[in-house]
Chain A
Amino acid sequence: MNLLIDIIISGLISGSVFALLAIGFSLIFGVARIVNIAHTAFYMVAAYCIYVVTQRMGFHPLWGMVAAIVLVTLLGIISYKLFINPIREHHGAVLIATIALAMAFQEVMGIIFTGSYLSVPKLIKGYHVILGVKVFYQQLLTFGAALLILAGLWALLMRTKLGLAVRSTAQDREVANLMGINEARVAMATMGLSVGLAALTGAIVVPLTVLEPHMWMHPLVMMMAVVVLGGLGSLKGSFLGAYILGFAEALVVFLAPMGAFLKGSVALSIMILVLLIRPEGLFGVSFEEER
């Protein structure tokens, strides 16, 4: 029973993180066709940002979150303008530019914070005992915040003019341009939105994880698996796929021997099995020219 609750909590939290990351990643892919490998590197930078504001400067964690989101979004837009926008027509070049960006962020953080393991205080302390298992309020908060952010994002995409522009650009860039949508500006706004989401994810998760410069690698792989599993460009698919893989990971970690080593492998094998049956992912729309 205890194990079951542990599994549920761990699955819900990693599922929410993967969902937030995957949605940000597929947004910028859908609108600008950029495979942003540096997406989770922004998440890492946000985590370090919070560490600096709370631990080094001594502010309340809430200020740390705000600062992290603002600064990382700015950083995202600046790196888009400087390094990605000039070479956007060359897909291969964009790809390795984002890989190089991620490496650069990792190294800068490694130089400043010396690669040791760090942690950040919880936003609210204390825990509640449910059926004999400690459930930290921070865990509930993270899960709740993730659901709220997802709902907010859905409203933004479905109910506002910006959302309409984003969705139509994702569907057909040329026609959207002809309808008077400034495609370059939408791409930049989407980049800001997507990096902002990554920062927000970092902000709500960081109290539960350990900070180190390589912390972006594992979420990157899982995020890509979620995106493929759910179908690129499908919000519903990313959401469901994220929880499937999150629970698969949690199950393996808690139940299988050597689980910590195998968690990635099992989750990725599930993704490949699903792809064998449905090559377009769970909810993927088949774009004829792309598949």
Chain B
Amino acid sequence: MGIILYYLRKLLSVIKNEVLVLPSRVVVALFFLFLLLLPLFTEDPYLLRILTLTSIFAILAASWDLLSGFTGQMNFGHALFFGVGAYGAAMLNKYAGIPPWSTIPLGALGAVLAGLVIGIPCLRLRGTYLALTTLAFPIILMGIVFAFPDLTGGELGISGIARLARSRVANYYIAVVVMLGLCTIMWKITDSNTGIIFHAIREDELAVRASGINTTRYKLLAFSLSGFFAGISGGLYAHFMRIAGPSTLEVSMSFQVVIWAIFGGVATIYGPVGAVFVLFPLMEVLRFWQDYRILMFACVVLLILLYMPDGLFRWLRDKTEKECPRCKIRNVAMRHTCRICTAQLD
């Protein structure tokens, strides 16, 4: 009994001293609570469906950020990983009869393989060359998909694959829990030693190599990690929609990912996730003007970029928090002294 009370008190003190002191942490905690508790209050199938899809795409956007935001390897062909994950899971399920809980990781392993295959030739390229080259890979795969319609279903895709779970609420919980878990893992990766090396590769690759770090290995690691997470999101998408079609490989899919990630703010992980949760439901709200939907979407992106070129969530965070000049710990913007070292905040 005592030990439970001890941990409870510890938890409360962590919440009070670490979470409630910063608006961004409060928002993240509320976001977790909101997503996990929502089905208790409403079981509206439309709302749950939107949020499930949003969660799936949030994984995709965050995985783009892990590769392109952190290591600076601009990837314009992220749909490749998504498509390989979706097609891999769908084909394993349809032709081998494997249930979803193992087809999704296996499809993701296929996406890791795809990441290595495109990573190796792309290691020699940098910047814009890399971006323009990676754009080609999903289109090549799409040609292959169309060329073998017996196996891949051609233009119609593979349909009639197993459901993720029986009920809508279970589907929702699978997508949301996987999304929250994977995004936390990605955030932890970027916070670790490896993440620091990723940052450094983006800033100055030569300097990283000069410090005795094998940048090739780390870049390939970034490609395969990003491929894995994107592949999982592709597999989830295929099993949720119960179809894996060529639309998962389209150029517009790759562009969509880039828009989400940059709109939210690159090299943050929380930025792209938040951007998907803003932009994807926005597209649904705009259904009122069916014809003007994509136009409105494009205008919103353009206008917000004019004022927040670093991304929406970066801008918001900079407005509400500031960094202590002495100990580099973040504080609420209202404070005059740092909450840890009591230095003057400017």
A221 touches B136 (CB 8 A): yes
B279-309 with Cβ < 8 A to chain A: 291-292, 294-295, 297-299, 301-302, 305-306, 309
Q: A87-B305, A101-B302, A221-B251 are in contact. Are A262 and B146 (CB under 8 A)?
A: yes
CB distance from B50 to the nearest CB of A (A): 21
CB distance from B198 to the nearest CB of A (A): 16
CB distance from A81 to the nearest CB of B (A): 12
Residues from chain B with Cβ under 8 Å of A110 in the complex: 291
Q: A107-B295, A261-B146 are in contact. Are A93 and B139 (CB under 8 A)?
A: no
Does any Cβ of A come within 8 Å of B126's Cβ?
Answer: yes
Q: Which residue of A lies closest to B302 (CB)?
A: A100
CA distance A281 to B147 in the complex (A): 29
CA distance A291 to B295 in the complex (A): 36
Does any Cβ of A come within 8 Å of B28's Cβ?
Answer: no
Does any Cβ of A come within 8 Å of B166's Cβ?
Answer: no
- Contact flags (1/0) for A204-226 with B, using CB distance below 8 Å? 00000000000001001100110
Residues from chain A with Cβ under 8 Å of B299 in the complex: 100, 104
B132 touches A93 (CB 8 A): no
Residues from chain A with Cβ under 8 Å of B297 in the complex: 103
Does any Cβ of A come within 8 Å of B114's Cβ?
Answer: no
Does any Cβ of B come within 8 Å of A69's Cβ?
Answer: no
Does any Cβ of B come within 8 Å of A232's Cβ?
Answer: yes
Does any Cβ of A come within 8 Å of B129's Cβ?
Answer: yes
A290 touches B298 (CB 8 A): no
Residues from chain A with Cβ under 8 Å of B259 in the complex: 96, 99-100
- Contact flags (1/0) for B140-175 with A, using CB distance below 8 Å? 111110110000000000000000000000000000
Q: A100-B301, A224-B132, A268-B140 are in contact. Are A92 and B262 (CB under 8 A)?
A: yes
A104 touches B298 (CB 8 A): yes
Interface of B: prevailing SS: helix
Does any Cβ of B come within 8 Å of A1's Cβ?
Answer: no
- Contact flags (1/0) for A60-84 with B, using CB distance below 8 Å? 0000000000000000000000010
CB distance from A152 to the nearest CB of B (A): 26
Q: Which residue of B lies closest to A280 (CB)?
A: B129
Residues from chain B with Cβ under 8 Å of A29 in the complex: 128
Does any Cβ of B come within 8 Å of A275's Cβ?
Answer: yes
Instruction: Pick from A100, A217, A276, A281 the residue with the most CB of B within 10 Å.
Output: A100
Task: Give the number of residue pairs across the A-B interface with Cβ within 8 Å.
Answer: 127
A269 touches B140 (CB 8 A): yes
A229-266 with Cβ < 8 A to chain B: 232, 258, 261-266
Does any Cβ of B come within 8 Å of A97's Cβ?
Answer: yes
CA distance A83 to B306 in the complex (A): 7
Q: Which residue of B lies closest to A90 (CB)?
A: B309
Partner of B132, one of A90, A227, A291: A227
A228 touches B132 (CB 8 A): yes
Instruction: Pick from B137, B255, B263, B310 the residue with the most CB of A within 10 Å.
Output: B255
A291 touches B129 (CB 8 A): yes
B306 touches A87 (CB 8 A): yes
B86-130 with Cβ < 8 A to chain A: 121, 124-129
CB distance from B30 to the nearest CB of A (A): 28
- Contact flags (1/0) for A94-127 with B, using CB distance below 8 Å? 0111011101101110110000000000000000
B258 touches A95 (CB 8 A): yes
Q: A228-B133, A275-B133 are in contact. Are A99 and B142 (CB under 8 A)?
A: no
Residues from chain A with Cβ under 8 Å of B266 in the complex: 92
CA distance A53 to B127 in the complex (A): 41
Instruction: Pick from B262, B263, B298 the residue with the most CB of A within 10 Å.
Output: B298
Taking Cβ atoms with an 8 Å cutoff, the residues of B that contact A are: 121, 124-129, 131-133, 135-137, 139-144, 146-147, 251-252, 255, 258-259, 262-263, 266, 291-292, 294-295, 297-299, 301-302, 305-306, 309-310
Closest 7 CB pairs of A and B: A265-B143, A261-B146, A268-B136, A107-B295, A90-B309, A104-B298, A93-B309
A sample of 30 cross-chain residue pairs with beta-carbon separation below 8 angstroms, ordered by A number, consists of A35-B131, A35-B132, A83-B305, A92-B262, A97-B301, A99-B259, A101-B302, A103-B297, A104-B302, A107-B292, A107-B295, A110-B291, A111-B295, A221-B136, A227-B132, A258-B147, A261-B143, A261-B146, A262-B146, A265-B140, A265-B144, A265-B147, A266-B143, A275-B121, A275-B124, A275-B125, A279-B124, A290-B128, A291-B126, A291-B127
Given contacts A111-B295, A275-B124, 10 further A-B contacts (CB under 8 A): A37-B255, A92-B262, A96-B258, A96-B259, A96-B263, A104-B298, A265-B142, A265-B147, A268-B137, A271-B136
